[in-house]
């Protein structure tokens, strides 16, 4: 073949490659527009696909917006089949009136996720991973009927093995044990080399289910559509919810220098039944096994609680965006203070508008984020919002040293939130999350005291923060990609 022939073949190859790129670009752009997502997110994905034609397609395949009609339909069927009329009467037996100022807020939550206000006769704030582990092991050891656990991260390390040991012992004693873990977050536990740990639990009578296990016919949900929830329900009467996973990384007894600083919640009373409801949906969805309710799963006879509580659940199977809406509405309701803790601050446009609006109208707004999260891109994206926040009057604090991981909100003196959701697009729209909203002065003060204790480990970010030009550019690029994070 002559040089001219090679040149012609090269030009022809380039022509057909450019033509294929153009056609695929038009098709993919039309497909993304058809998803009817937020305009900012839609434009970001269109830019990514067109500027990075091959790499962008791979990124989109794993991280891109997904319609979840199949999962949504399956979960609707799950909800319809899960509860009998008697079950629903039991669930709704504890339904106190919300405070007058919170009537519409509580209605918004119930309408967006179906979970009404309820109550707790016992609430314990757990301010560390070790305290949370101690409480979990204590409650599991005392279980008389069942133990239900759902975690995003459940590691086969020393902490995880301690929990598995108690689960195995209780299963061997006849307690119904059900463990639900996420396929991505708990991938090490599910690896072949750790199979004996779960096999021992199953042989003792325990059950294990995996949320969205990766398969060759379903690659995309490997990254998105995760259960980021941390739920423990013991005997239907004691529940735990918050940000703490089962891992040595959050256990300061094992890692005193660098264990995550995090917050969790222990509940007793009617509110636990709604945590149970969320778990049962996820369990049935992931395992396909419907539980026979024998009076233990949703126990009756709980005394009315003094603390009004509302469980909030959200996920990509619903357009309700319950946690997202609840956070924005709470920010809009604030009159005195908003103290927000989050490890990942990549807000949606409505969320940052609500936050800055509050500061502009005179509400004291304080935000704590880690000095460095476990993602350099997320840290840069968060810092790209600092100037906008500070110009509105928001005080931004960076937690020094260890990773800062609480997901909490203190609003005024009567409202507080502890949950699994970060203040970011992924938690608001892509992950399955759960939180507890508490309409109570004492709990609000406890969480405020914890916030102030965290401030003692923080540095106030100066308004004239100086950063090198290359870092400013990196933060700007990270912010541009924030709708994709």
Active-site residue list: 228, 230, 235, 405, 407, 412
Q: Would you say 177 and 146 are in contact if contact means Cβ atoms under 8 Å apart? A: yes
Contact indicator for 48, 59 with CB cutoff of 8 Å: yes
Alpha carbon distance 460, 456 (integer Å): 10
- 403 half-sphere exposure, CB direction, 13 A CA radius: 21
Q: Which two tokens stand for residue 462?
A: 């100066």
CA–CA separation, 407 and 447 (whole Å): 11
Residues 6+ apart with CB under 8 A from 196: none
DSSP 390-434: HHHT-EEEEE-SSPB---EEEETTTEEEEES--EEHIIIIISBEE
> Quick one: 228 exposed, middle or buried, by C-beta within 10 A (0-12, 13-18, 19+)?
buried
270: CB partners within 8 A, 6+ apart: 93, 94, 118, 119, 120, 302, 304, 305
CA–CA distance, 479 with 112 (Å, rounded to integer) = 29
End-to-end CA distance of the chain: 49
Provide the 10 A C-beta neighbour count for residue 80. Answer: 8
Which residues lie below 8 Å from residue 252, measured CB to CB, with a gap of 6+?
128, 129, 130, 259
């Amino acid at each position: 073949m002559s040089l001219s022939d090679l040149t012609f073949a090269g030009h022809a190859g380039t022509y057909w490659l450019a033509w294929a790129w153009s056609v695929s670009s038009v098709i993919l752009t039309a497909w993304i527009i058809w998803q009817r997502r937020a305009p900012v997110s839609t434009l970001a994905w269109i830019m990514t696909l067109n500027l990075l034609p091959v790499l962008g397609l791979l990124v989109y395949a794993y991280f891109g917006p997904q319609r979840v009609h199949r999962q949504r339909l399956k979960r609707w069927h799950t909800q319809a089949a899960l509860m009998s009329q008697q079950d629903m009467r039991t669930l709704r037996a504890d339904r106190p009136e919300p405070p007058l100022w919170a009537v519409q807020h509580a209605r918004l939550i119930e309408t967006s996720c179906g979970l009404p206000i309820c109550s707790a006769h016992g609430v314990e704030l757990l301010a560390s991973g070790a305290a949370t582990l101690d409480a979990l092991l204590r409650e599991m050891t005392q279980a008389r009927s069942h133990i239900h656990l759902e975690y995003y991260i459940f590691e086969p390390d020393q902490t995880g093995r301690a929990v598995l040991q108690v689960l195995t012992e209780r299963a061997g004693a006849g307690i119904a044990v059900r463990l639900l873990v996420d396929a991505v977050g708990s991938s090490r536990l599910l690896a072949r080399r750790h199979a004996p740990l779960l096999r021992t639990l199953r042989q003792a009578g325990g059950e294990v289910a995996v949320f969205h296990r990766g398969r060759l016919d379903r690659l995309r949900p490997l990254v998105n559509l995760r259960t980021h929830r941390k739920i423990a329900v013991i005997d239907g009467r004691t529940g735990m919810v918050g940000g703490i996973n089962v891992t040595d990384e959050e256990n300061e007894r094992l890692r005193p220098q660098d264990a995550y600083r995090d917050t969790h919640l222990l509940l007793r009373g009617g509110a636990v039944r709604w945590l149970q409801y969320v778990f049962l949906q996820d369990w049935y969805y992931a395992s396909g096994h419907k539980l026979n309710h024998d009076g233990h799963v949703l126990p009756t006879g709980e005394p009315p609680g003094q603390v009004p509580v509302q469980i909030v659940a959200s996920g990509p199977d619903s357009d309700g965006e319950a946690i997202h809406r609840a956070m924005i509405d709470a920010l809009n309701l604030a009159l005195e203070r908003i103290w927000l803790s989050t490890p990942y601050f990549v807000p949606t446009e409505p969320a940052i508008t609500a936050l800055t609006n509050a500061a502009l109208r005179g509400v004291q707004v304080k935000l704590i984020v880690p000095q460095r999260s476990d993602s350099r891109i997320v840290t840069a994206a968060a810092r790209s919002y600092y100037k906008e926040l500070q110009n509105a009057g928001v005080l931004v604090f960076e937690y020094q040293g260890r990773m800062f991981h609480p997901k909490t909100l203190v609003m005024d003196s009567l409202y507080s939130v502890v949950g699994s959701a970060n203040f970011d697009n992924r938690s608001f729209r892509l992950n399955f999350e759960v939180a507890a909203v508490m309409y109570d002065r004492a709990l609000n003060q406890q969480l405020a005291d914890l916030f102030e204790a965290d401030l003692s480990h923080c540095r106030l970010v100066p308004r004239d923060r100086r950063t090198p030009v290359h870092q400013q550019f990196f933060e700007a690029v990270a912010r541009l990609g924030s709708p994709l994070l």
